[in-house]
Amino acid sequence: MRQIGKIAAIAAGAFLAPPAAFAGDFAQVRPIGFSEDGKIFAYEEFGIQDGSGSAYANIYFIDTAKDEYLPGSPIRVQAPENESSLRRVRAEAAAKASPAIAHYSLNDHPGQLVALNPYSEVGPAADSLRYYAYPAEPRVGEPYTLRLAETPAPLPAACEGLVDKGVGFTLEFTEKAGKPVSEVVYSEERAPQSRGCPTGYRIAGVVTYDTPQQPIHMALVMVLRFGFEGLDGRWLAVPLRP
């Protein structure tokens, strides 16, 4: 009887364990900054990988005119299995990225994180954000509304049997400086292999920066993708010129 009681206690403990222990991992994001002319933007994502329990840190450098990664980007650092020191992997990624960060003076032009809608946020829709381009009181200018729509995409061969269908996304301004519009500013026909096996997307933030020529809005899109223990969340940054 004591053995049965022990098994029951273990089972009860399993049901009472924090759900995060069995969930996928959602990366955190940190915008780094822009080059003075706005042609380069960089950001960091980091977290603890589900399944392996290892820490990771990725730093992305984006050519905002071409919407492409710079050569040598992204910088990825992954700790060995069960090594969860975020401090170590983030420091290693930062050291590898520091020459480019210094070359483009990214720390001098951080931009403004003007909207953030993480997966844990309760209330705002996952497919749209309404925001002002500048944080100020009294308000400066009029608001923008950015809407994300998921679209059909070819299912990558590596994802067959893991997810039901391929999925991409579009971004559309439905409001610019307070005026209603219908302007698709990003669309894709297929998801790159580096994205893994996406199952959906969320418009999760906006970083803005003013250049002498034209302002830049970086849309932060969360990719929901197949993971070891559930859905994982990773970050994309899409350059927009409103």
* pLDDT for the residue 23: 57
* pLDDT for the residue 112: 97
- The whole model's pTM is what? 0.87
Q: Tens digit of pLDDT per residue, the chain (242 long)?
A: 334 343 333 333 333 434 444 456 999 999 999 999 999 999 999 999 988 899 999 999 999 999 999 999 999 999 998 898 999 999 999 999 999 999 999 999 999 999 999 999 887 788 999 999 999 899 989 999 999 999 999 998 899 999 999 999 999 999 999 999 999 999 998 888 888 999 999 999 999 999 878 899 999 999 999 988 888 999 999 999 99
* pLDDT for the residue 190: 83
* pLDDT for the residue 124: 75
HEC sequence for the chain: CHHHHHHHHHHHHHHHCCHHHHCCCECEEEEEEECCCCCEEEEEEEEECCCCCCEEEEEEEEECCCCEECCCCCEEEECCCCCCCHHHHHHHHHHHHHHHHHHCCHHHCCCEEEEECCCCCCCCCCCEEEECCCCCCCCCCCCEEEEEEEEEECCCHHHECCECCEEEEEEEEEEECCEEEEEEEEECCCCCHHHCCEEEEEEEEEEEECCCCCCEEEEEEEEEEECCCCEEEEEEEEEECC
* pLDDT for the residue 192: 84
* pLDDT for the residue 228: 81
* pLDDT for the residue 212: 79
Give the start-to-end residue ranges of the domains of the chain. 23-110, 111-242
